[in-house]
């Protein structure tokens, strides 16, 4: 059985090996990038047409070209970079802080039974609190400035990273650990040479979902009170009845959110190339 | 290296899995532990390896008591158990010490002896079952274990690959002269490879018989001597009463 499985996967991988990374299209029309842009492009064209013919009123849903102009305008007068920069900075700091805390606690809980008994119930209890409920308290404690926002994002990032580290470490195959033991590895060597690499896939999944939550929480944090940032643009758009500003901000969120996720995904494919995953046809 | 077991037993949660096993393996001998499933063959092997230290009785390697994992003991598992994030070469060098060049050279030699010299850079996911098991053999041999424990190492392979790898094992045994303890439930395999077969029976498993195979190597599969040994082994397993 095991033999059969590995033979099947052997066929898969040698197949994908001779056609590196993406599945080579037979004709240029089935290129994944092209296939993926058909619907977005159609949507934008239809939207533009409907907005121009005033089916959508401009004060509710401006045309894509108007939104693009708004973004270009902000880029030209320089305000765009400030907004994007500060939002990016907040997410990055919150992400790093949340991840660091999750790595420390998650490793402890994953490795030591007693640490699990000690910390895990409390962490699970905190997890059941909707994270946004912390906002007023954080503002009360740390004021309306950067610290409360970054703390907010860190809380959001913490839980998925923590949960994935714990499950990654405790899910390491006992059989592989035995191999390490048979070669006389001590605990530290076991961690470094077997447990960490084996838990890496799960850790990276945690990082990606943590980053996603980070982008969610930055919006919440900036809506609460900020003088700069993409979330602040949303509030400005609402108060000045400028839907193009709101949508421009949403588009920017989508673009940089996607970009940051892409970086992590690249990291994942580079470090996890050894994983035996089925190729899609 | 000699290996000595005296009245070794193992109990799991109050239930004895194997009891009162004693035998001695002389240096360079190939001992087979044969029995139906559930008679504690693998349990014994884990006790000898030092992975399991909760056994009763005494196990000695070179007259030294075993209570932990020994550097001089190698273990080949039922599955290849390769580390999926390391390529073939790094898997074989996994247990080696010393500088990288030396390790590479040594591993290369063993990979060559299992016929995988040109597959160094492949990852486990790219290997077939037989190839992966051959890498596992190379890995187990690379540390030059004086005692090699094999837990049904070929049971997951097809008949042809199995025969190939059995011959390969004998070949490396000839050049490295490790003492081997082979757990198996395959009568043909036991008769073909072993110098001595210890037949375990019952639950909890006990030593039913010891059969010494005097037929010189190379043995011929399907020879009349082999058939006679197999008949003897099967008779001592007494499968008819087991199923009744």
What part of A 162-221 touches B (C-beta under 8 Å)?
A: 175-176, 178-179, 181-184, 193-194, 197-198, 200
Q: B49, B121, B125, B133: best mutation site toward chain A, by most A Cβ within 10 Å?
A: B125
Q: Are residues A140 and A32 in the same domain?
A: no
Set of chain A residues whose Cβ sits within 8 Å of the Cβ of B128: 3, 6-7, 10
* Spans of chain B, pLDDT less than 70: 240-244
pLDDT tens figures, A185-234: 888 899 889 999 999 999 999 999 999 999 999 998 888 878 899 999 99
Mean pLDDT on A11-15 = 40
Please check whether residues A133 and A242 belong to one and the same domain: yes
Helix, strand, coil percent content, chain B, rounded in steps of 5: 40, 25, 35
Distances (CA, A) of B227 to B33, B188, B219, B221: 19, 9, 12, 9
B115 in Cβ contact with B164 (< 8 Å): no
B77 interface with A at CB cutoff 8 Å? yes
Shared domain check, A107 and A180: yes
pLDDT value at position B244?
A: 41
Q: With an 8 Å Cβ cutoff, are B51 and A182 in contact? A: yes
Q: How many structural domains is chain A composed of?
A: 2
How does pLDDT run across A156-194, given as a tens digit for each residue? 999 999 999 999 999 999 999 999 999 988 888 998 899
A4 is a domain residue:
no
8 Å CB contact between B213 and B191: yes
Query: CA angle, corner A153, sides to A167 and A201, nearest 5?
Result: 25
Enumerate residues 28 to 57 of chain B having a beta carbon within 8 A of any beta carbon in chain A.
Answer: 49, 51
What domains appear along chain B, each with residue ranges and CATH number? 3-84+145-243 (3.40.50.300)
Place of tokens 């503002």: A139
In whole angstroms, what is the distance from residue B26 CA to residue B31 CA?
Answer: 9
B102-160 tens-digit pLDDT: 999 989 988 988 888 899 999 999 999 889 999 998 899 888 888 999 999 998 888 88
Three-state DSSP class for residue B37: coil
Q: Would you state the pLDDT for residue A238?
A: 92
Same-domain status, A116 and A33: no
**pLDDT score for A239:** 92
Whether cis (ω within 30° of 0) applies to the bond prior to B218 is: yes
Please tell me the predicted confidence (pLDDT) of residue A9: 41
Is A15 an interface residue toward B (CB < 8 Å)? no
| Whole-number pLDDT of residue A13 | 41
- What's the pLDDT at A92? 95
pLDDT tens digits, A37-58: 899 899 999 999 999 898 888 8
Same structural domain, A221 and A117: yes
pLDDT in tens, A116-143: 899 989 999 998 988 788 888 888 999 8
A38 touches chain B (CB under 8 A): no
Is A118 a domain residue?
yes
**A275/B125 CB distance under 8 A:** yes
| A31: pLDDT strictly greater than 90 | no
Q: Transcribe B81-143 into DSSP letters.
A: ---TTS-HHHHHTTT--S-HHHHHHHHHHHHHHTT-GGGTT--GGGS-HHHHHHHHHHHHHHT
Verify whether the Cβ–Cβ distance A3 to B85 is below 8 Å: no
CA distance B225 to chain A (A): 32
Contact B142, B107 (CB under 8 A): yes
β-strands B73-76, B206-212 pairing: unpaired
Interface size A-B, in CB pairs within 8 Å, comes to 72
Alpha carbon A147 to its chain centroid, in Å, reads 21
Verify that A45 and A168 share a domain, yes or no: no
Quick check: B21 and B206 in contact, CB under 8 A?
yes
pLDDT of residue B21: 92
pLDDT given at position A135: 83
Q: Are B81 and A175 in contact (CB under 8 A)?
A: yes
Residues A166 and A118 in one domain: yes
Q: CB-based contacts of B16: which residues, under 8 Å, 6+ apart?
A: B9, B10, B204
> Strands B30-34 and B179-184, how do they pair?
parallel
Residue A221 lies in a domain: yes
Tell me if A6 is assigned to some domain: no
* Mean pLDDT to the nearest integer, A58-80: 91
Q: Which of A163, A170, A190 is nearest to A110 (CA)?
A: A170
The answer to whether residue A1 is domain-embedded is no
Q: Which residue has the higher pLDDT, B1 or A71?
A: A71
Q: Which residues of B touch A10 (CB under 8 A)?
A: 125-128
Specify the pLDDT at position A4. 44
Radius of gyration (C-alpha) of chain B in whole angstroms:
18
Q: Flag if B95 and A183 touch (Cβ within 8 Å).
A: yes
Measure CA B91 to chain center: 19
- pLDDT score, position B136: 93
CB A2 to CB B156 under 8 A? yes
Confidence of residue A5 (pLDDT cuts 50, 70, 90): very low
CB distance B77–A184 less than 8 Å? no
Chain A within 8 Å of B157 (Cβ-Cβ)?
A: yes
Give the domain range for residue A84.
63-271
What is the pLDDT at residue B98? 85
Mean pLDDT of chain A: 86
Task: Identify whether A183 is part of a domain.
Answer: yes
**Do residues A68 and A38 share a domain?**
no
In a domain, A194, yes or no: yes
Residues A131 and A240 in one domain: yes
Structural tokens at position B85: 């994030």
Nearest to B95 by CA among B122, B73, B118: B73
Pairing mode of beta strands B196-201, B30-34: parallel
Residues A232 and A111 in one domain: yes
- CB–CB contact B51 A17 (8 Å): no
The pLDDT score that the predictor gives to residue A132 is: 80
Q: Inter-chain contact B127–A6, Cβ cutoff 8 Å?
A: yes
Residue A3 lies in a domain: no
Express as a percent the part of chain A with pLDDT over 70: 89
pLDDT for A7 beyond 50: no
Helices (H), A53-145: 64-77, 79-111, 113-127, 135-142
Interface test with B, best of A5, A6, A8, A181 (most B CBs within 10 A): A6
CA atoms within 13 A on the CB side of A112: 9
Q: Are residues A222 and A194 in the same domain?
A: yes
Same domain, A93 and A180: yes
pLDDT value at A247 more than 90: yes
Most B CBs within 10 Å, among A17, A175, A179, A275, to test the B interface: A179
């Amino acid at each position: 059985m095991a033999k059969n499985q590995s033979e099947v996967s052997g066929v898969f991988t040698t197949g994908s090996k001779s056609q590196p990374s993406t599945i080579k299209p037979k004709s240029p029309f089935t290129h994944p990038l092209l296939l993926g842009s058909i619907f977005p492009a159609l949507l934008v064209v239809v939207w533009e047409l409907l907005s121009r013919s005033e089916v959508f009123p401009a004060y509710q849903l401006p045309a894509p070209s108007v939104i693009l102009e708004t973004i270009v305008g902000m880029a030209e007068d320089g305000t765009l970079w400030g907004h994007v920069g500060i939002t990016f900075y907040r997410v990055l700091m919150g992400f790093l802080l949340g991840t660091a805390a999750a790595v420390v606690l998650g490793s402890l809980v994953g490795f030591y039974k007693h640490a699990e008994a000690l910390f895990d119930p409390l962490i699970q209890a905190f997890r059941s609190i909707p994270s946004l409920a912390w906002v007023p308290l954080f503002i009360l404690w740390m004021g309306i400035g950067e610290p409360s926002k970054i703390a907010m994002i860190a809380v959001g990032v913490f839980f998925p990273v923590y949960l994935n580290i714990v499950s990654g470490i405790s899910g390491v195959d006992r059989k592989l650990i035995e191999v390490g033991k048979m070669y006389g590895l001590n605990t530290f060597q076991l961690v470094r040479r077997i447990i960490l690499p084996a838990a890496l896939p799960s850790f990276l999944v945690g990082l990606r979902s943590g980053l996603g939550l980070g982008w969610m929480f930055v919006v919440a944090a900036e809506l609460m009170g900020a003088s700069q940032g993409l979330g602040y643009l949303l509030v400005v758009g609402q108060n000045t009845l400028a839907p193009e500003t709101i949508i421009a901000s949403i588009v920017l969120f989508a673009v940089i959110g996607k970009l940051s996720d892409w970086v992590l995904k690249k990291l994942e494919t580079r470090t996890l190339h050894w994983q035996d995953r089925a190729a899609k046809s | 290296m000699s290996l000595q077991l005296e009245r070794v037993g193992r109990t799991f949660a109050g239930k004895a899995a194997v009891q009162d096993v004693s035998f001695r393996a002389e240096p360079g001998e190939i001992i087979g532990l044969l029995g139906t499933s559930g008679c504690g063959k693998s349990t014994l092997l884990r006790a000898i390896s030092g992975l399991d230290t909760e056994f009763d009785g005494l196990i000695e390697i070179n007259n030294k008591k075993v209570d932990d994992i020994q550097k001089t003991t190698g273990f080949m598992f039922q599955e290849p158990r390769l580390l999926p994030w390391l390529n073939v070469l790094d898997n074989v060098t996994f247990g080696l010490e010393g500088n990288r060049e030396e390790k590479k050279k040594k591993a290369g030699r063993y990979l060559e002896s299992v016929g995988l010299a040109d597959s160094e850079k492949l990852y486990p996911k790219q290997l077939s079952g037989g190839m992966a098991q051959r890498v596992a053999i190379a890995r187990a041999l690379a540390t030059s274990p004086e005692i090699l424990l094999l837990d049904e190492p070929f049971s997951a392979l097809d008949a042809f690959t199995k025969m190939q790898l059995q011959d390969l094992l004998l070949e490396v045994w000839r050049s490295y002269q490790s003492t081997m303890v082979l757990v198996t439930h395959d009568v043909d395999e036991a008769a073909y490879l072993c110098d001595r077969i210890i037949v375990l029976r019952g639950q909890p498993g006990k030593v039913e018989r010891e059969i010494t195979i005097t037929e010189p190597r190379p043995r011929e599969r399907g020879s009349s001597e082999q058939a006679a040994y197999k008949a003897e082994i099967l008779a001592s397993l007494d499968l008819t009463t087991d199923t009744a």
